Chain A
Amino acid sequence: GAVVSQHPSRVICKSGTSVKIECRSLDFQATTMFWYRQFPKQSLMLMATSNEGSKATYEQGVEKDKFLINHASLTLSTLTVTSAHPEDSSFYICSATPKGLGNSPLHFGNGTRLTVT
């Protein structure tokens, strides 16, 4: 089945530093990938839609200069949290649907738990 790999699974960083999270589709091509954020015991909130070869589309209220998304290839999207602060501590999870299979379920990475100290 379709596999999405997300790395790292956990990261602790100091306030003011930047953190990069990678999301790879291992056995399929993904024109579009999605980044979600989840606070403890809450729902997944869509942050942005990552489009291969073009700029990401951010949801209202998500700072595009803080959460930099790059989708350089059909199998890789990265989310960089710039100048991280403790309030950015959260669970970040990426997802993708195989190219051409728009009605199929989203396949999710295992998520990245970010802690900013």
Chain B
Amino acid sequence: AQKITQTQPGMFVQEKEAVTLDCTYDTSDPSYGLFWYKQPSSGEMIFLIYQGSYDQQNATEGRYSLNFQKARKSANLVISASQLGDSAMYFCAMRVVAGTALIFGKGTTLSVSS
């Protein structure tokens, strides 16, 4: 069975600082995709970044980067230069079979202060 674990219920960071949100996963399938989503208090799910299990390089999207350590089965999200607007809940998710649903972790609430 597949599982996503996010062990940080809440994280606090000051503006302009970098923050790492942890995510570990468990699957026996060699082919999988890892996703990070942001959910502001309004509820919409905003896709941030994707990492495929066979990708050689860590994914980056603007201020977001994914620290993919396959042997450790971790896929941590790094947000550089935090902004007040980054305050939200962040979910790590995984998909093993193309076209199927995502399995989500419990989420981490990020609070950015000025």
In this complex, how many residues of chain B approach chain A with their Cβ under 8 Å: the count is 25
The answer to whether A108 touches B45 (Cβ under 8 A) is yes
Q: Is A34 an interface residue when CB atoms closer than 8 A count as contact?
A: yes
Taking CB atoms, residues of chain A closer than 8 Å to B68 are none
Q: Is B99 an interface residue when CB atoms closer than 8 A count as contact?
A: yes
Task: Give the distance in Å from the alpha carbon of A102 to the alpha carbon of B99 in the complex.
Answer: 4
The answer to whether B35 touches A105 (Cβ under 8 A) is yes
Q: Report A53 CB to chain B, min CB distance, Å.
A: 16
Please report which residues of chain B, range 38-88, place their CB below 8 angstroms from some CB of chain A when the two chains form the complex.
42-45, 47, 50, 52
Our pick among B37, B43, B52, B104 for the contact of A110 (Cβ within 8 Å) is B43
B contacts, CB < 8 Å to A = 33, 35, 37, 42-45, 47, 50, 52, 89, 91, 95, 97-107, 109
23 contacts between A and B (CB under 8 A): A32-B99, A34-B101, A41-B89, A41-B109, A42-B106, A43-B104, A44-B104, A49-B100, A49-B101, A91-B43, A93-B45, A95-B45, A95-B102, A102-B97, A102-B98, A102-B99, A105-B47, A106-B101, A108-B44, A108-B45, A110-B43, A111-B44, A113-B43
